[in-house]
Amino acid sequence: MLIRLSISFLDRNHLLIELTSGPNTLRIAPTGKKHMRLKHTDLSEDLKDSCSSPPLKEIRSRAPRSRLGRRLSSTALIACITCVLAADDIQRTQTTEIGREVAIARHLSDGEEFSATVTNLLKYGAQIFSANWTVQEGQGRPFLKGTGKSLSDPSSPLLFPRNMNRLSGPDANSCAGCHNVPFAGGAGDAATNVFVLGQRFDSMTFDPSNSFVTGGTFDERGVETNLLTFSNSRATPGLFGAGYYELLAREITADLRAIASSIDPGQSAPLLSKGISFGVLRRSGDGRWDVSAVGGLPPQATATSGDVRPTLVLQPWHQAGGVVSLRQFTNNAFLQHHGMEPEERVGRGIDLDGDGFVNELTRADITAVTIFQAAIAVPGRVIPTDTAVREAIATGEKLFANIGCVRCHVPSLPLRNWIYTEPSPFNPQTNLQLGEVSVYAIDLTSPHLPGPRLRLDGDVINVPVYTDFKLHNLCDTPMDPNAELLDQNRLMGSAAFFEGNQLFLTKRLWDIGSKPNHFHHGKFTTIRESILAHGGEARENRKAFIMLGADDQGAIIEFLKSLRVLPPGTKSLTVDENGDPVKWPR
């Protein structure tokens, strides 16, 4: 039997498929990849209902029951699937209009992240990370602060010339515009320092004629701010080894939460994970929780009321420990720095910032760019061929331990599970939650990921990250110039917020030799300055360093300089300056 297939476009987004055999004709009006309509009624009826077409699985029940009808139905199904896929490609081509200026011509649809190969998903994630966003795809947030809240003064939207603002944002064209040393995903020059908490202002101008609270200069108290008081200036962090780092934080969180769940009323238990102590958690006889002896965690993790157990969730991102996961970090950054709205943050189909665009970044987009960051290669060691330098590195590594630096900068931590998953089980609300979608997983030891990678050591991976994931007081007094005037971990505008901050996450040192600047504020140009700035809980370690002779101090510096980001694709984790493998320790 001869079956004639005819395909015609109804408009830019719809096509008509007709299958004819003799006097019988079957018309199909597909409306998308997953929804289409099969009916024997006239074409106008099909188009009238096209917006509510049934799922593909319902086609069979609507098809005619005759032998010819069944054959046409089967043929239609095959043809329709083929043509809809072709139409999808055609639509992609058609949306690439001459003169259109966008960074990403076609975004991933939700669900496509699961059908893409890991290699292709990483490539796409890298494109998102380096994309220079434009107003033709949703860049900018005319009626939103970088916090996601409405402007204090909606009569002055963030349109040109207020559309970009280096202090309060949007302040960058791309993620890689800041995270680029020594290549995309890295740290940033001092010129890329982040004005953390500046995003709570509409558009920072320091103009006192703008009387709106958190409008252009006046803070939540109505106090006029200046360049040093409106925000906390922070260095742009590197993301090398980010996947391993976050998995360690997740495991520590899970350990602490398991300990807490085992504490009955009237009992207490030490919070210990991977050899790191977070103090002691107690519970009174009536079930109330006592966190007074818990240390090293942000206030969000220890908050409790009555018999409500503290979450004990680590926040390993931001230098003061303010963010739980890479995904939260990413969602925050896109909104604050670029004015690109993640649909999981603002809602699907919602134009919260009033720029005329919806779904600016799909859930799949955020998963792709988060996976890209999680898969970035780990740092390694560069041991120069110069004999004197090698001796200094070996000596400095021992001295670093001897003067007590490793009590906080723990050289290596064991990772039990190296399968990185999205979403994180600990994501806060307004970020993708576990159970909302299928879990996306990658094996961080896979040879398909960017190298170098860490290798298994028995049944664990030892991660040489040089941190303990704890917050420590690094300031001698509240007036220490290294202290911050605002506390990122407190409610914005509250009294506690304005009391300032002296607690900082132990810096992960495994890439310190490649950093362009140092300390949380990035205002130091040498490692030595950072060491000498350690106060508070690290005061004795600073004294011990000062008491060393010049050669021994220099040896510690050389050791730290050897902790570096390696060129992409480097096979060995320890190399000389020529890239040749080095056996170390000797």
**Domain holding 463: CATH number?**
1.10.760.10
Domain's final residue, options 40, 68, 95: 95
Give the integer Cα–Cα distance in Å for 390 and 4: 78
Q: Quick one: which of 150, 327, 360, 170 has its CA closest to 242?
A: 327
The pTM (predicted TM-score) of the whole model is 0.84
Residues facing residue 213 across a β-bridge = 218
In a domain, 133, yes or no: no
Q: Is the pLDDT of residue 536 over 50?
A: yes
Q: What is the pLDDT of residues 241-284, one digit of tens each?
A: 999 999 999 999 999 999 999 999 999 999 999 999 999 999 99
User: Is 484 strand, coil or helix?
Assistant: strand
State the SS3 of 382-437.
ECCCCHHHHHHHHHHHHHHHHCCHHHCCCCCEEECCCEEEECCCCCCCCCCCECCE
Together in a domain, 279 and 414: no
Whether 387 and 246 share a structural domain? no
* Burial class of residue 572 (count of CB atoms within 10 Å of its CB; 0-12, 13-18, 19+): middle
Residue 270 lies in a domain: yes
Largest CA distance in the chain: 100
> Do residue 399 and residue 523 come from a single domain?
yes
What are 383-430's pLDDT values in tens digits? 999 999 999 999 999 999 999 999 999 999 999 999 999 999 999 999
How far apart, in whole angstroms, are the C-alpha atoms of residue 521 and residue 510?
Answer: 18
Q: Are residues 296 and 385 in the same domain?
A: no
Same domain? For 400 and 516 the reply is yes
Count of domains observed in the chain: 3
pLDDT above 70 for 3: no
pLDDT in tens, 142-163: 999 999 999 999 999 999 999 9
Does residue 279 lie within any of the structural domains?
yes
Task: Tell me, yes or no, whether 534 and 396 share the same domain.
Answer: yes
Are residues 382 and 294 located together in one domain of the fold?
no
Residue 581: strand, helix, or coil: strand
The reply to whether 506 falls in a domain is yes
Residues 296 and 383 grouped into a single domain: no
Q: What is the pLDDT of residues 315-344, one digit of tens each?
A: 999 999 999 999 999 999 999 999 999 999
In this structure, the number of other CB atoms found within 10 A of the CB of residue 547 comes to: 10
Task: Give the number of other Cβ atoms within 10 Å of residue 265's Cβ.
Answer: 12
Residue 358 clears pLDDT 80, i.e. is over it: yes
Over range 208-224, report the average pLDDT.
98
**Residue 222 predicted with pLDDT over 60:** yes
Tell me the two tokens of residue 563.
């902790």
pLDDT by residue (tens digit) across 502-522? 999 999 999 999 999 999 999
**pLDDT for res 26:** 60
Check if the beta carbon of residue 3 is closer than 8 Å to that of residue 79. no
Query: Is residue 371 assigned to a domain?
Result: no
> Treating both helix axes as pointing N-terminal to C-terminal, what angle do 326-333 and 363-374 enclose, rounded to 10 degrees?
120
Tell me if 392 is assigned to some domain: yes
User: Where among 95, 120, 136 does a domain terminate?
Assistant: 95
Are residues 408 and 534 both part of a single domain?
yes
d(CA 200, CA 215): 9
Same domain for 273 and 415, yes or no, is no
For residue 63, what are the domain limits? 4-95
- State pLDDT tens for residues 61-114: 333 344 444 444 444 444 444 444 444 443 344 456 899 999 999 999 999 999
> Of 95, 127, 154, which one is at a domain's C-terminal end?
95
Residue 541 lies in a domain: yes
Percentage of the chain beyond pLDDT 90 is 83
- Whether 385 and 470 share a structural domain: yes
Task: Assess if residue 110 is contained within a domain.
Answer: no
Neighbours of 82 (CB within 10 A): 12
Q: Do 287 and 265 form a contact (C-beta atoms < 8 A)?
A: yes
Residue 57: CB partners within 8 Å, gap ≥ 6?
A: none
Same domain, 555 and 473: yes
> What is the pLDDT at residue 28?
58
